[in-house]
Amino acid sequence: MTTTSKRGMLAILTGGGDVPGLNPAIRALTFRALREGYRVIGIRRGWAGLMGIVRDKKADNSSAFDVISEEIVTKAGRTGGTFLHTSRTLPRRVPKANVPEHLRSQYAEEWNDLTPEVLKNLEFLGIDTLIPIGGDDTLSYAVDLCREGVKVVGIPKTMDNDVPGTDYCIGFSTCVTRTIMMSNLLRTSAGSHERFLVIEVFGRYAGFTAMLPTLAGAANRCVIPEYKFKIETLAELLSEDRRRNPSRYSVVLVSEGAMFEGGEMVFQDDTPDSYGHPKLGGIGDLVSAKLKEISPQFNRGEIVNTINQRLAYLVRGGDPDAIDSVVPVAYGNLAMDLILKGMHGRLVVLKDGRYDNVPIEVVSRSKKVVDVEKHYNTERLRPKYESIQLQPLFMMASS
């Protein structure tokens, strides 16, 4: 399947959750690569596509990859999501049921490492450099491939903004923008009925998607994964906020990974994905119910009802905002700069407002979370507003 061109063949894939900004990144990469003399392949469904290729020149592999042209990316580049599709697939840990059909006789364990197939498929396609766009799970497997000798340049993407080594991940700004917008939409109902408004947002281990909108005034309080909170403290603070508000309502943003003091994360079910993560969701329901239950203690014996909303995919869908239209273009061109210089094993990043690159291994070395002591007021359950001077654009989201 090896295909020759003036410079060689590049492959792009998108893995993990979708976010606005992926298609602009693919467009930028494709335009630049084609004009520099490369051919470009788009791997479909992230690592799943690269894992499932049938190594036969006569085989129909259109569901696994396709050659990308300027015509294809021109229209898609203005839209949200990823036209290459995505999946939560980890080739080094594939459940038996997800092994591609043509490989099931060779990989019949409950969990299987299909990395040997991935390496053979890259060689079959004639890929010179692989460009994965994803979060720390997707990129951690790219680190594995680097160690196997594959030339990789990674681009960070996740609306949680929790990839180590970079201040910014594609999708974060749109997530914050949508969260602010939808919080403001829901205020009219909360005010009309004089209620607590509880909004559950993304954030498994990092609370940036709750912190930034709260900093911007979208909520009175926020609870985050990095600090286990007392529900009584939250109820008292929200009751105080409600009394001070002429419209008699108050708002709290709840990260999906937030935990009650003495409690653990709340899951929709215990079935893990290929990355080993059970599906989070439901802490907002519990917070809402508990606030209503104990509200009389802080409201002169009166029950305060709640409006409870999980934003979930509403902040993933739709077109990217301005930042998630500009940064992906810069990241794509930065990745191509590295490739043209013969550099690989790198991650393109934003640090202190400047574009740069770091060793891709950084994604496996640490976790990027909110610095509670520096940025979160544990007594008031909201961001700290001091010491802003010389902080980067998104402040507490710096790496």
| Candidates 128, 160, 167, 241; catalytic one | 160
Q: Which residues contact 156 (CB under 8 A, 6 or more apart)?
A: 134, 135, 139, 163, 165, 166, 168, 169, 170, 331, 347, 348, 349, 363
Note whether 319 and 135 are within 8 A (CB): no
- For the chain, the distance separating the N- and C-terminal CA atoms, rounded to the nearest angstrom, is 41
Closest CA to 156 of 143, 147, 146, 178: 143
What is the distance between the alpha carbons of residues 13 and 205, in angstroms, rounded to a whole number? 25
Residue 160: active-site member? yes
- Token pair recorded at residue 53: 């290729």
Residue type, 116: P
| Residue of 28, 15, 23 whose CA lies nearest to 331 | 28
CA dihedral 139, 143, 146, 150 (to 10 degrees): -30
- Reading the block at residue 349, the tokens are 């990043």
Helix (H, G, I), strand (E, B) or coil at 125: helix
Question: How, if at all, do strands 346-351 and 153-156 pair?
Answer: parallel
Torsion-angle region of residue 298: left (phi > 0), alpha (psi -120 to 50) or beta? alpha
**CA–CA separation, 211 vs 374, rounded Å?**
13
What backbone phi and psi angles, to 5 degrees, belong to 17? -70, 150
Residue with tokens 């893990």, as numbered in its chain: 272
**Lookup result for tokens 């340049």:** 153
CA-CA distance, 3 to 5, in Å (whole number)? 7
Catalytic residues: 160
